[in-house]
């Protein structure tokens, strides 16, 4: 009985060197055991000055159900360096873990890089913002319009926006015929929705 308690204490913490050895040897089972038994904040503290590639290895080797809390425990600088080093696919996986979207749902498929503007904005101001921010968005061809409460109220295709008068408000030129789903909607259902349009 005493040995089991000692073993539990040994497993309940991890040093930087031990963790780095598991990462370099790609020991998935050992890493999983650490994530199951050691508080995520302690693992993050041990890994906080790891290189971005070593941190990415952790995200690749460990299930996403564990990595959200681990990511949260990293310092801001480490988080920023990690995000800069991740591929788009790895970043989407991380975001889904942080937002807790289940695989196969609309939430897991959706992009977070789109353009959205408030309905009361003028066409001229909107176009200026698109010129300033558009290169960072995954898509600029459909602009999403929201109200002051951040509720989705319409869309505008870029070509319609370009040919609108500068002084018009987005709410006057947007399409109010909305097709939407919830983040928890099954991806098959989402596909069916768009096939029937």
Please report, for the domain that includes residue 181, its CATH number. Answer: 3.10.580.10
- How many domains, in total, are found in the chain? 2
pTM for the whole structure: 0.51
* Residue 108 counted as domain residue: no
Residues 147, 6: Cα–Cα separation, whole Å: 58
Please answer whether residues 143 and 116 qualify as being in contact, where contact means their C-beta atoms are separated by less than 8 angstroms.
Answer: yes
Pairing mode of beta strands 116-118, 142-146? parallel
User: What is the Cα–Cα distance from 62 to 43, expressed in whole angstroms?
Assistant: 12
Give the range among 152-156, 164-168, 191-195 with minimum mean pLDDT.
191-195
Tell me, yes or no, whether 66 and 38 share the same domain. yes
Regarding whether 168 and 86 lie in a shared domain, the answer is no
Q: What is the pLDDT of residue 101?
A: 66
The verdict on 50 and 139 lying in the same domain is no
CB contact at 8 A, 83 and 56: no
Assess if residue 19 is contained within a domain. Answer: yes
At residue 11, the pLDDT reads: 44
User: Computed from CA positions of residues 108, 111, 117, 123, in that sequence, does the dihedral angle turn out positive or negative?
Assistant: negative
Which is nearest to 160 in space by CA: 147, 141, 138, 183? 141
pLDDT (mean) for 66-80: 85
Query: 22 falls in which pLDDT band (50, 70, 90)?
Result: very high
Query: From CA 66, how far away is CA 46, in angstroms rounded?
Result: 15
Q: pLDDT higher for 157 or 191?
A: 157
* Same-domain pairing of 96 and 120: no
The answer to the question of residue 48 being in a domain is yes
CB burial class (10 A; 0-12, 13-18, 19+) of residue 2?
Answer: exposed
**Alpha-carbon span 148 to 150, nearest angstrom:** 5
Same domain, 82 and 135: no
Q: Is residue 56 part of a domain?
A: yes
**Mean pLDDT rounded to a whole number for the chain:** 83
Task: Kindly state whether residues 94 and 11 are assigned to the same domain.
Answer: yes
**How many Cβ atoms are within 10 Å of 60's Cβ, its own excluded?**
13
Measured between alpha carbons, how far is 71 from 165 in angstroms, rounded to an integer?
46
Between 132 and 162, the higher pLDDT residue: 162
Last residue of a domain, one of 100, 130, 151: 100
Question: Is residue 109 domain-resident?
Answer: no
7 domain residue, yes or no? yes
Whether 111 shows a pLDDT value over 90: the answer reads no
Same domain? 88 vs 124 = no
- Distance between CA 102 and CA 133 in Å, rounded? 30
Q: Which whole number is the average pLDDT over 179-183?
A: 78
Q: How far apart are CA 75 and CA 49, in angstroms?
A: 9
Residue ending a domain, among 100, 126, 142, is 100
Q: Is residue 88 very low, low, confident or very high in pLDDT (cuts 50, 70, 90)?
A: confident
Range of the domain at 148: 116-195
Residues 95 and 174 occupy one common structural domain: no
Sign of the four-CA dihedral 99, 77, 130, 149: positive
pLDDT of the residue at 40:
85
Looking at the structure, do residues 13 and 88 belong to the same domain, yes or no? yes
Q: Do residues 22 and 81 share a domain?
A: yes
pLDDT of amino acid 100: 66
Instruction: Assess whether 6 and 96 both reside in one domain.
Output: yes
Does 160 fall in a domain?
Answer: yes
Q: How far apart, in whole angstroms, are the C-alpha atoms of residue 50 and residue 60?
A: 15
Q: Does a structural domain hold residue 107?
A: no
């Amino acid at each position: 009985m005493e040995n089991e308690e000692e073993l539990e204490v040994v497993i309940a913490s991890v040093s930087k060197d031990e963790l780095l050895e598991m990462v370099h040897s790609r020991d998935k089972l050992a890493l999983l055991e650490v994530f199951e038994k050691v508080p995520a904040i302690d693992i993050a503290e041990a890994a906080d000055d790891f290189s971005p590639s070593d941190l990415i290895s952790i995200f690749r080797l460990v299930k996403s159900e564990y990595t959200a809390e681990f990511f949260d425990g990293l310092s801001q600088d480490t988080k920023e360096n990690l995000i800069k080093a991740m591929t788009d696919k790895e970043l989407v996986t991380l975001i889904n873990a942080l937002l807790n979207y289940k695989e196969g749902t609309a939430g897991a498929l959706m992009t977070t890089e789109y353009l959205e503007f408030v309905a009361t904005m003028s066409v001229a101001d909107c176009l200026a913002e698109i010129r300033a921010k558009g290169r960072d968005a995954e898509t600029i061809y459909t602009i999403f319009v929201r109200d002051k409460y951040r509720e989705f109220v319409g869309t505008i295709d870029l070509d319609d926006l370009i040919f609108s008068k500068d002084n018009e408000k987005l709410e006057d030129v947007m399409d109010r015929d909305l097709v939407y789903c919830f983040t928890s909607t099954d991806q098959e259902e989402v596909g069916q929705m768009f096939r029937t349009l």
